[in-house]
Amino acid sequence: MFASRVHKIEEEEKKDVFAPVADLMVGVVFIFIIMVLALSLVMMEDAVPRPLYDQTAQELAQVKIERDALKKRAAQLSEFVSFVKTEGVVPLLDRLAEADATRTKILQMLKDRLAAQGVNVEADFRSGVLRLPTGNLFESAQADPTPHGRDVIRLLGVALADVVLCFLPGAPAACPPQSQGSLLNAVYVEGHTDAAPLRGGADRFRDNWDLSAARAIEAYRIARDSDPRVPNLKNAEGKSLLGVSGYADTRPVIDGLSEKQRNDKAVMETDRRIEVRLIMAVNRDQVERALRDLNQRLDKLDAGGK
């Protein structure tokens, strides 16, 4: 009945804080559906099939055995539901939800700080992404920002230093206290290109992948050099907080556009951009312990149902 299992988190999944969240959510919903169905069946079957006066003593004894077995099974299922709600997966999901709320708070603080400097950025709270203004940030096929783009990225670096310090280990005393689930693990500076393939004059880059990575690296360097605190930003593991990644033209701002639409000048300028992605820390030991306890209790339910 409970043959499916929640798999152990693989090493690659551990790198992404929210990698196990979707699996956990689906698993919890699935488990509660099973609980409701099982308890409903118990209530339906927990009755004498025929009037007592129309049964032999042997039949009544068998009915009692079956009823006792059903009551025992119902107690096991109730205990499992209590575990999921109070000790296992649900409290873990609450902590992950807290981390998501903290990420939204950080994005809003960065957005407000930059707006106060005259830089209007877009924040995707669902994905944890801050998008720098795309107008006049990069020229086509160029990795070096325009003078305007360079100024914007410098302001981003200062804003990062001002804001994220309060969400790292050893935060200044002036910062409000934060729980373990509210710490940053990484900030990725992501480079993107428009859909136009590289042509002559861009010998420095083989393709848009090279170009997007170069844009991310250049933006990272500008942000790093904008404030002496930025190079020293470390996560709970003592590793550098800032990193880079490039996506070429594979993640356009607007999905579903035709090739002709993507080659429109305004759209191309919008796609040439830098985004900043926040990744929250998570206690991997807690996640693995919750999944391990869940699997053990599922094994126990399987054994009790045979």
**pTM for the structure as a whole:** 0.70
Question: Residue holding tokens 């990225």?
Answer: 153
User: Which pLDDT value is given to residue 211?
Assistant: 95
What residues does each domain of the chain span? 11-93+285-304, 100-283
Short-list 23, 69, 77, 12, CA closest to 46? 69
Residue of higher predicted confidence among 207 and 182: 207
Contact at 8 Å (CB) between 163 and 113?
yes
DSSP string, 266-282: HHHHHHS-EEEEEEE--
Residue 65 confidence (pLDDT): 81
Whether 217 shows a pLDDT value over 70: the answer reads yes
Higher pLDDT: 136 or 189? It is 189
Q: Which alpha helices (H) appear in 87-207, and where do they start and end?
A: 89-116, 147-164
97: confidence class by pLDDT, cuts 50, 70, 90: confident
Protein fold of 100-283: 60s Ribosomal Protein L30; Chain: A; (3.30.1330)
